[in-house]
Amino acid sequence: MLKKSSTKTADGCWHSPSADRNRLPILEVLKSLLPESGFVLELGSGTGQHVEQFAQSFPEITWQPTDMDAELRESVSRRIALGSLPNVREPIHLDALEYSWPITRADALIVINMTHVSPWPVTLSIFKNASLCLSDSGFLFIYGPFKQNHKHTSAGNQAFDMELSHQNTEWRIRNLEDLQIAAEREGLTLTEKIDMPANNFSLVFRKAAEGQ
């Protein structure tokens, strides 16, 4: 779906208009969350526009992009080279549904516009693996459109949801409360819900404190 809404530029990189629109608002949220240094894992890096922006803004953080699509991983590699970004590792293949991920430790896990274009078990696996790989002070950041109390937050999101289900019966805008329940089963708590442009949300999950 990502490549359907993206174009390939002369330098061989894929370019997404939506990534251009949301990367700076997301960056502003991450500025209040990320440590000065550490290791961040990004799932479904896509065109690489997000990790390119974030790596430039957080040069002391090491970034690990991932994607299941080899052509998109190549796009990320090109952006790393063109931007001379020494703090970004080469992108790797990572299937979120795999029981064991190749990355077992991270200070943050970034998931942007993924939960609605993947089957629900993918989201469940993200929570499970986040609980295993996040450092005690780490967090899981999920960005995208969500229902609240099983209701869409806008007519545009409702139409988008119908479009998603027509493309794939396992795709849909998820209900926020369902994510909370799934996270809590893995020992994660929703600590922040931030309204974002275009009827999207930034969700921050952290490990529950001992004894909670």
Q: Cα 3 to chain center, whole Å?
A: 17
Question: What pLDDT band is residue 7 in, cutting at 50, 70 and 90?
Answer: confident
Judge whether 153 lies within some domain. yes
Judge whether 5 lies within some domain. no
Judge whether 29 lies within some domain. yes
Judge whether 9 lies within some domain. no
Judge whether 7 lies within some domain. no
- pTM metric for this prediction: 0.95
Q: Give tens-digit pLDDT for 29-88.
A: 999 999 999 999 999 999 999 999 999 999 999 999 999 999 999 999 999 999 999 999
What is the total count of domains within the chain?
A: 1
Q: Give tens-digit pLDDT for 162-198.
A: 999 999 999 999 999 999 999 999 999 999 999 999 9
Long-range (24+ apart) CB contacts under 8 A made by 77-81 are 77/48, 78/11, 78/12, 78/13, 78/48, 79/13, 79/47, 79/48, 79/49, 79/51, 79/52, 80/48, 80/52
| Whether the predicted pLDDT of 10 surpasses 80 | no
Q: What is the CATH number of the domain that holds 136?
A: 3.40.50.150
Judge whether 59 lies within some domain. yes
- Give 128's DSSP letter: H
| Whether the predicted pLDDT of 3 surpasses 80 | no
State the residue range of the domain holding 162.
15-207
Q: Give tens-digit pLDDT for 123-170.
A: 999 999 999 999 999 999 999 999 999 999 999 999 999 999 999 999
Judge whether 36 lies within some domain. yes
Judge whether 171 lies within some domain. yes
